[in-house]
Chains A and B, each alone.
Chain A
Amino acid sequence: MLAAVFLISVSTLAFEVLLARMFAFTQWNHLSFLVISIALFGFAASGTLFTMAAPAVARWRGVHWSLLVVLFSASMLAAVIGMTRIPLDYHRLALQPLQAVYLFAVYLLLALPFLFSGGLVSAAYMAQPQHTAAIYFAVMAGSALGVLLPVPLLSVGSEPGLVVIAAMVPLAAPGVMLTDDWRRRSRHDRGAVLAVSAAGLLVLMAAAWLLTPGAQEVRDPKPSEFKFLSQIQSLPGTRIVATTADIRGRVDRVQGPHLRFAPGLSLKHAAPLPQATAVLTDGDRPVFLYDRSAAANAHFARDTLSFAGYELHGRPGSVLVLLSGGGQAVACALASGAGRIQIQHANPRVADQIRSHYGLPVAATPARSYLAQSAERFDIVHVESPGASMPGADALDQDHLLTIEAFGEYLRHLSPNGVLIVSRRLLLPPADSLRLWATARQALARGGATHPERSIIILRSWDTYTLMVFQEPPADPALIQEVAHRGNFDVVYADGADDSLSNRYNVFDAPYHFREHLQLASAVRKAAAEEYFRDYAMDVAPQTDRQPFPGHFLKWSRLPDLYRMLGSRLHAFGLSGEVVVALALAEAFGVSAMLLLLPIAAIKRRRERIPWRVTIFFLGIGAGFMHAELLFVYLGTYLLGDPVISLTLTLAGTLVSSGLGGLWSGMRGAGCLRASTGAAALVLGLAAAGLMLFSSHVLALPAPVRGAVLLAAVMIPGFLMGMPFPLAMRHLAQSTAVKAYAWSANGCASVLASILSAQIAIAAGFEWVLAAAVITYGIAFMAFLRTRLTMGTKTHTVMQGS
């Protein structure tokens, strides 16, 4: 049984990681968030079902457990096929009622593996209470292995192929369990064993077939037709010339005669553009590499808005390009004739392609780590981060490139007359440019500038804007006018500029952007910036490293205004990250209520009851654990610069340490329950707060050391966080029904907390996620504050309600 629990845990977590990878390539962040979070309710649903059928489940033996494993494997295969066959389209959700059915089918299909996996674990706790600590360790250790295994395997196999292999892994366990059961049963009672064995064999054969090249059509889901990769692949003559993959994502190099990229190109530019090669990560986020066969090919960049910063500088000798997408910044740097050009891109595989294409030095490290480790100064620091095409579309993206601290780092790396250039998509209503103006101003003020607003200039074209921040205020206002006139650009902000420069070439009904920046600057001068941010219809306050969501603009209190601005069309909200999180949260509350209330009637009929303190306790530790885990994922993303690496390290660290904590708890008595819960809250608070406090210093350390620091911060509280669950399963939840219900409550709380953490982090920052973790552990601690926990069978009697 323990082996089965271990193997199914390996397989389940590998499935979860691979599923997230498959969604990243084929679909959108938002759909992935919506579907995976709800599918995880499968764990909780198993607890709900087993609470209702507790007396029967308690009698289950090898054949039943084996059946759960076989069903788990079969459902994983069904999930892979379903991902390919069900024509779910995120963009059609609001337009076509049938899409709701597809969405429900995907929810169900993806929830089933979690249901069967959770069912086996829950059944194990119910059937072998004496081995609770060992079961908990098997779950955690297996899960940790499941998180880690895809890391090396993704470089050699595709996600769907690995899911199929993962589905085969736990099928080894029924072999042992069924043989054991076979020996125990009489001759006429062996039919069930044979049936389950046959089913297992069939699943194994189906899995083997799915691995053959002939099954590729059924196995490998295609990216959404709205993904950039799909779109350019439908252009004639355009083809993928190279593909590599690892845990960070799939990188495709695409060539074709129709790839051109020049955002912010002046309308006065008449010459043809150079052809480009696109490097895509997960079918999107293109980086364009321009053809350099002719030296003049980069010269088109002189007519782009981003180049204005280079012109205002004069003749830069050195340029640092921080690239998270696009690629035009490299063309600008080349066109400027700078003698030294240093490029940075966080993904090593993309960085390799840029390096080999241009023959320029490319640092394959996260931008913030690069800056923390380097003392070099540049005449130009050019940040190319295009941003979303609609406010809120990238609200869920944790981005440390556009925070006050990041701007401080950029300024620190500028030479005395250097210029920081940030190029972004122009949005209406004005939001992003206001936030970045305020961010730059605050960073300048922190650096000691006496009149920071004089050092900022923003110009715009019809679809992009460029923010320029100067170490010293630019001396010649006439040059700004000249640059703007030459490129047909308008002024959004320049100290002292009047509105005659603001709406000349790219004409709006009114100079919305200019006016709004003027109002913000005026509020800042009157020391009324806080009031401005409070009253503006969108959240445009500067972001910090503790709340790094520069794509977040929604104010719930102003939702009706935003609805009106977006043309009073509900489906337009489908692209807003915050709305998707809220939707997922509402769904999660609904599903949780159903899963927790459904078994109550069944339990009452059996004259049993679930003590509310037990429910509160398991809800508390489930939520606390998940809040803590996600907090460390956020902090790890800052330290390591990659959410996937952070997620992998954090999960593996938490699961291993919790498993060890759980194993150790097996040697402790009931008295340790309250102490371990309180200690978990305390140590978690200290470890996370310490990491937050020193993270900016840790950033300057080499990557392995940063990883080790994160692991240490995760594993110390992780050990304590692993103790309350198995202790409570042993000492609080003694009846089989209560054990199953506790499992359900823990599962519901985990899913709810994972969604809630995202909402809290976006709206209030990481400190509040930590507070939520500590508070929920605190609630669990308080649930039994005045109860003696040295009872054993006495608790059992109380819980039986007799």
Chain B
Amino acid sequence: MKITAIACVVFLLCPLAAFAAGTDTPATRAARERMVAEQIQARGITSPAVLGAMRSVPRHFFVPEDLASSAYADHPLPIGEGQTISQPYIVALMTEVLNLKKGDRVLEIGTGSGYQAAILSAVGVDVRTIEIKPKLYETSYNTLIINGYNNVVCRLDDGYFGWLEASPFDAVMVTAAVDHIPPPLIAQLKDGGRLVLPLGSPFGYQNLVLVTKRGEEVVLRNIIGVLFVPLTGRAMDKR
């Protein structure tokens, strides 16, 4: 009876064990494949580099252990300090809209879990990432180093002022919530450089803003395809 009970518990915990931090098993690889197919490709992400990166980076390494079994689900997850790891689709879309080429230099503001930096690294760009919160910096730095993302350079600092010594950047990604775009970040963009940032609550709906610098002109585009289906089409037909 006792053995049966233990066997049941082990059996029930097996799927969770498959998602334990630090191990990439066939089950987690399969979960990633499903995530890419059902959440990312199905929503229109086509860049082979981005899809490849999303397939290769074990997302469950970057989430708190108690949420590891939800790592590949279609929603954001809290990672502590009031921060979140974005929904997989948002990560993919933010990476795709930057239209990156191998060797580009990218600055990420708000390392958070380190997952986005790992994806950028897997895309083949030179990544600089800044985190202001010491606890998050320490955790993400360790995760990135342990898992071999060596082309990511991390810094504990206030990202508001960018990274002047490493500038100019081909792209800047702001993953923290902001009420205005910090002027130094635009100044540190190359001509033709792009900056992307998410708007709205990560737990509600999110919108992306893509800023492109062309000489003295700064053009801002809202990418509303993130989650919002505008009031056109069927919703408007009812009017």
A interface residues, Cβ below 8 angstroms from B: 89, 91-92, 94-96, 98, 224-227, 230-231, 234-236, 257-258, 260-265, 267-272, 389-390, 393, 428-430, 462-463, 488, 505-510, 512, 516, 535-537, 558, 561, 564-567, 569, 571-572, 574-575
Contact = CB atoms under 8 A, between A and B. Distances in A.
Contacts of A512: 230-231
Interface of B: 66-67, 70, 73-75, 77-78, 80-82, 132-135, 158, 160, 179-181, 183, 186-187, 199-201, 203-205, 207, 209, 211, 218-222, 224-232, 234-236, 238-239
28 contacts: A91-B78, A92-B78, A94-B75, A225-B81, A227-B82, A258-B158, A263-B179, A264-B180, A267-B181, A270-B183, A390-B200, A390-B205, A428-B222, A462-B222, A488-B218, A505-B219, A509-B225, A509-B230, A510-B232, A535-B239, A536-B239, A537-B238, A564-B229, A565-B229, A567-B205, A567-B228, A569-B75, A571-B203
B187 to A, nearest CB: 7
B203 A575 contact: yes
B183 A564 contact: no
Nearest to B156: A236
B220 A462 contact: yes
A510 to B, nearest CB: 7
Nearest to B225: A509
A96 B204 CA distance: 16
B203 A96 contact: no
A225 B78 contact: yes
A236 B231 contact: no
A84 to B, nearest CB: 18
B78 A508 contact: no
B200 A236 contact: no
Q: Quick one: which of A227, A508, A558 has the most chain B CB within 10 A?
A: A508
Given A390-B205, A428-B228, A561-B234, A463 B199 contact: yes
Contacts, number: 151
Contacts of B203: 91, 571-572, 574-575
Contacts of A564: 229, 234-235
Contacts of B180: 260, 262-265
A98 B228 CA distance: 29
Which of A226, A265, A272, A566 has the most chain B CB atoms inside 10 A of its CB?
A: A226
Contacts of B74: 569
Given A271-B183, A272-B183, A566-B205, A505 B220 contact: yes
B67 A96 contact: yes
For B158, B203, B220, B224, the residue with the greatest tally of chain A CB atoms inside 10 Å of its CB is: B203
Contacts of B70: 95-96
Contacts of A505: 219-220
Contacts of A267: 181, 186, 211, 218, 220
Contact of A269 (B183, B201, B222, B224): B183
B179 A262 contact: yes
A428 B75 contact: no
A234 B230 contact: no
Contacts of B200: 389-390
Given A566-B205, A572-B205, A428 B230 contact: yes
Nearest to A267: B218
A574 B73 CA distance: 17
Contact of B235 (A91, A231, A509, A565): A565
Contacts of B82: 224-227, 230-231, 234
Nearest to A272: B183
A379 to B, nearest CB: 27
B161 to A, nearest CB: 9
Contact of A95 (B67, B80, B211): B67
Contact of B228 (A226, A389, A565): A565
A131 B191 CA distance: 85
A428 B66 CA distance: 34
B218 A270 contact: no
Contacts of A463: 179, 199, 209
A389 B207 CA distance: 11
